[in-house]
Structure 1
Amino acid sequence: MTVREVFPEGPLTPEQWQHVQALSRVVGSDQARWLSGYFAGFDAALVRLGQGEVALAAPGAVPAASGRTLTILYGTETGNSTELAKALAAAAAGRGLSAEVVDMANYKPRRLKEEQDVLVVVSTYGEGDPPQPAVGFFEFIEGHKAPKLDGVRFTVLALGDSTYEFYCEAGKRLDRRFEELGAKRLLPRVDCDIDYEEPAAAWSAEIVDLLAAELAELPAQASPFAAVPVAAAASAYDKRNPFEAKIIDNIVIVGRGSSKETRHIELDLDGSGLSYEPGDAVGIVARNDPAAVGALIEAAGLAADAPVTIKSETKTLGEALERNYEIMIASPRFIDQWAGLSGAAELERLRAPENAKERLAFLEGHHVVDIVRKFPLPGIDGAGLIAGLRPLQPRLYSIASSQAVTGDEVHITLAPVRYDLHGEGRSGVASAHLCDRIELGETLPVYIQANPHFRLPAGDAPIIMIGAGTGVAPYRAFLQQREADGHGGRSWLFFGERNFRSDFLYQIEWQSWLKEEVLTRMDVAFSRDRADKTYVQHRMLERAADFYAWLEEGAHVYVCGDATHMAPDVHDTLIRIVESQSGGGRDAAEDYVRKLQADHRYQRDVY
């Protein structure tokens, strides 16, 4: 019998119940009794405040210990901002400050004028755009309906990737806009690259210290909660402590003669306690190709066994480059480092802000090893080489299975990245690791990355799933889940790939689901079977009347795939379908699609 069978979620939201279930798996009996007493005291404090069940059951900021409301707003695409926002709230709680943590996707923007202290954690998507779930929040605050925020104080933590031209632009936009609306800045904005942990922790500590210092100046009775020591939680597997999962299957799922390679990979999570839902991703902590490591060490004129120190730990240079650093894609940070050491005029020129576009074009055409070869530095040591490198980041892959069906297994669908640059074959870090250098039975570190913005609807609401290539992976999980749950809701899949005979991924499974009516409809587009290339958006237009009818009947739309071409083309096609079928103009159609997004009926998982 599970905990869920004994204690249904009651007044908790599904997300809150998820947290309770996750916690129940990692606490012992003593810790459970401690938590029981803690929450009993917490409830008593709420009753004294006159909050009672209202504070627990309904959104709304609990008064901070300083007498001001404290709200932590986050906008996220991959979950990093979520983790940072929750960690910030925990740090604040440890200092007697009570904060409400709210996803921008679920926040009612008109509440802004009622806020007092707002801490913003937001990532940037692509070339300066906000995360997809936060688009509605940005449209409101940057629009003419945004209220004056004269009584609001704020600070912004911006996450981004410096290899993009508009680095941390979403955070910069909110920072500017809050100021324009009259809000007072608590701390200067902090911009974080992909290795965000240390600057984010420093920002979090500084803002908590500032607010806690204000609290200390108030009379003791102003604080509704006393600081409560937090019990040490049992170890859990996550991004910082990944689980060593065994590779139990790794097969090519394209046919003979295919112009690309696509694999179905199964990982064993037995003993991890990890759980996931359809729509989530698995994070894989991969290693760099030893051949690429060797090429970089050779280009730098160094020895693989030369010692280097990373955060007080000594390793060989070869081990550090294989496990700790991004050595393929170069970044502006590396240009800064190498320009400073080499004095190369070309690199110095690329550092200038006005040459941002030229710098990004240079980075697209040069990996780290190419820069080291082009601008050699005789006499450099290992520390000098790694100083400009960014930490090696895990890679996320959409999960292609439902845990209700596969149990302790997690499945992914992967197409290895391979290309030529400067006359040499290059490959993606994680995809090449999985496809070329790991054997069945071996293990690799993994964790689960939740994606609450790509979820099946409750009950039997119809769903329309649009995916190209490996973007079909989460829909396999969706249909496995619906079959396991016995839901009878209609489902429609649009799938695109290159060739019908070789690239119809999971064809037998789709056909089986069609026969069993788990999948109601399927439209396919194989772009290279005909002279005139056909993609999923063309099939959508051909079925425009039915597509719009499904929307009007409450269908939820999902898009998974390439963010550069496929996703924007599908988005534009969705607007065109609404415009042509509703009889309204383009503006009305765009409003319709925005309403779908605001109602969480249009969700995207793009990369």
Structure 2
Amino acid sequence: MTKHDRKNPFLSKIKEEYCISENSGKETNHYVFDIERSGLRYKPGDSLGVFPENDPELISLTINKLGFYGNEDVEVKGVGKIELRDALKTELTIHRAGRKFVVAVVGKLPEGDEKNKLNELLEDRDKLEEYLNVRDCVDIINENPDVVFEAQEFVDTLQNITPRLYSISSSPKVHGDEVHTTIAVVRYENFERKRSGLTTGYLADRMQVKETEIPVYIQATKEFILPKDGSKDVIMVGPGTGIAPFRAFIEERERTHSTGKNWLFFGDWYEESTFFYKDEWKEFMKRGSLNKLTTAFSRDQKKKVYVQHRIEQHSKEIWKWIKKGAYFYVCGDKEYMAKDVHETLIKIVEKEGKMNREKAEEYVNKTLMKEEKRYLRDVY
């Protein structure tokens, strides 16, 4: 059987798609990918790599704005000769401009204020990131309408499309030849144009269930794994789509008859509309496969409450679990949530373990994370 990986992805179809955030103002979907006869194997904690396609409207807009026809032959690194429109469909990133494109634009501009402004941006990484974060190539050409590119010249400024990784939310022991994912659709508006995330928009708007072939592969994890000893307790912190791997963890722990206790912390905006997999958690609790479920819904009351606040409220019990050998997992937002949870965990160790700050940091950062590998994170 052919081995499928990032270089040779499997063409999967989505068997099922449904929204798990109805009436919330958010768009979070559950997707079931069919991997039957693919030879793909995965475990809880792994991710699914998904190769997207660019929006046909954006492709046409880009081609027209740059004065191309779309049938020009171009050379794409790692692909070879291909028609421009096809290259922009599956190979090259156009939903967001890159530094190389700005450098090329600057090289074509006459001396003056606009050239100086872009040169200043190129020298400041943070400001350049801010500038590029809200612009694609069309936006930049709109701001610099006299700049002209040849097709190959334009293609040479673009980056190849990279696959997006999504935490798998299913156990293969339960779902066999399926991979489940939990994906928040990104939508926004810049310069009076509605836009979406490259992959999330592709799946939500252009993918046809049971029809569209989507290149996928498994990105295995070496670190973010369940303990080999099923008698170990686990604490899982997964707000928002960070819940995904823990659905897989609990399915796996139930199916393998693991005797360790499971404690899940989940948070989002509203209990009514963003309590992802609520009915499933209730069933797991009825069957004794989920021992504790602690939630934080930030917008259900005036004062916002997040998972780190709930963790702090249960500091004594969390410390007892940790001292007895429990594993502590965190999945989700790297920028804010994971940092806040990390700080809260240090405070719990400091308070309940009766350590000073330095010793508490050493226990969390060195003992738990590096030596015992009982504090594991999958953050993005």
Both structures adopt the same fold (TM-score exceeding 0.5): yes
What per-residue deviation string (whole Å, max 9, x for no partner) do you get for residues 193-226 of structure 1?
xxxxxxxxxxxxxxxxxxxxxxxxxxxxxxxxxx
Partner of 1:483: 254
Partner of 1:415: 184
Pick from 239, 260, 264: which aligns with 2:6?
239
What per-residue deviation string (whole Å, max 9, x for no partner) do you get for residues 267-304 of structure 1?
11111111000000000011011112122222212222
Partner of 1:603: 376
CA contact (8 A) 2:109 2:147 kept: no
In 1, Cα distance between the equivalents of 2:28 and 2:148?
Answer: 43
In 1, Cα distance between the equivalents of 2:105 and 2:148?
Answer: 13
The change in CA–CA distance for 1:379 and 1:357 in structure 2 (over 3 A counts) is closer
- Alignment map for 1:428-507 (pairs within 5 Å): 428-442=197-211, 443-459=213-229, 460-507=231-278
Partner of 2:302: 531
Partner of 1:20: none
CA contact (8 A) 2:173 2:252 kept: yes
Partner of 2:43: 277
In 2, Cα distance between the equivalents of 1:391 and 1:248?
Answer: 28
In 1, Cα distance between the equivalents of 2:333 and 2:192?
Answer: 26
1:328 and 2:95 equivalent? yes
CA contact (8 A) 2:319 2:349 kept: yes
CA contact (8 A) 1:497 1:504 kept: yes
Partner of 2:21: 254
Deviation at 1:517, TM superposition (A): 1.0
CA contact (8 A) 1:300 1:376 kept: no
TM-score when normalising by structure 2: 0.94
Deviation at 1:349, TM superposition (A): 2.6
Match of 2:210, SS? Answer: coil
Gaps of 5+ in 1: 1-25, 27-234
Q: Residue 506 of structure 1 aligns to which amino acid in structure 2?
A: Y
What per-residue deviation string (whole Å, max 9, x for no partner) do you get for residues 464-500 of structure 1?
0001111100000001111110111101000001101
CA contact (8 A) 1:401 1:474 kept: yes
Instruction: Indicate the structure (1 or 2) with the bigger Cα radius of gyration.
Output: 1
In 2, Cα distance between the equivalents of 1:558 and 1:446?
Answer: 26
Q: Residue 315 of structure 2 aligns to which amino acid in structure 1?
A: A
Deviation at 1:333, TM superposition (A): 2.2
Most deviating of 580-589 and 532-541:
580-589
Partner of 2:282: 511
Deviation at 1:453, TM superposition (A): 1.1
Partner of 1:426: 195
Q: Residue 5 of structure 2 aligns to which amino acid in structure 1?
A: D
Deviation at 1:330, TM superposition (A): 2.3
Pick from 365, 368, 373: which aligns with 2:142?
373
Deviation at 1:565, TM superposition (A): 1.0
In 1, Cα distance between the equivalents of 2:364 and 2:206?
Answer: 44
What per-residue deviation string (whole Å, max 9, x for no partner) do you get for residues 89-118 of structure 1?
xxxxxxxxxxxxxxxxxxxxxxxxxxxxxx
Pick from 31, 34, 48: which aligns with 1:265?
31
Deviation at 1:378, TM superposition (A): 4.8
CA contact (8 A) 1:326 1:389 kept: yes
What per-residue deviation string (whole Å, max 9, x for no partner) do you get for residues 291-346 of structure 1?
12122222212222232222473322221111111112222222222222335332
In 2, Cα distance between the equivalents of 1:541 and 1:411?
Answer: 31
What per-residue deviation string (whole Å, max 9, x for no partner) do you get for residues 381-400 of structure 1?
21121111111000000000
CA contact (8 A) 2:71 2:83 kept: yes
Partner of 1:286: 52
Deviation at 1:520, TM superposition (A): 0.8
In 2, Cα distance between the equivalents of 1:379 and 1:585?
Answer: 63
TM-score when normalising by structure 1: 0.60
Gaps of 5+ in 2: none
Q: Residue 175 of structure 2 aligns to which amino acid in structure 1?
A: T
Partner of 1:387: 156
CA contact (8 A) 1:400 1:477 kept: yes
1:298 and 2:50 equivalent? no
The change in CA–CA distance for 1:253 and 1:504 in structure 2 (over 3 A counts) is same
In 1, Cα distance between the equivalents of 2:225 and 2:141?
Answer: 45
Match of 2:238, SS? Answer: strand
In 1, Cα distance between the equivalents of 2:353 and 2:284?
Answer: 32
Q: Which has the higher contact order (CA 8 A, sep 6+)?
A: 2
What per-residue deviation string (whole Å, max 9, x for no partner) do you get for residues 1-40 of structure 1?
xxxxxxxxxxxxxxxxxxxxxxxxx5xxxxxxxxxxxxxx
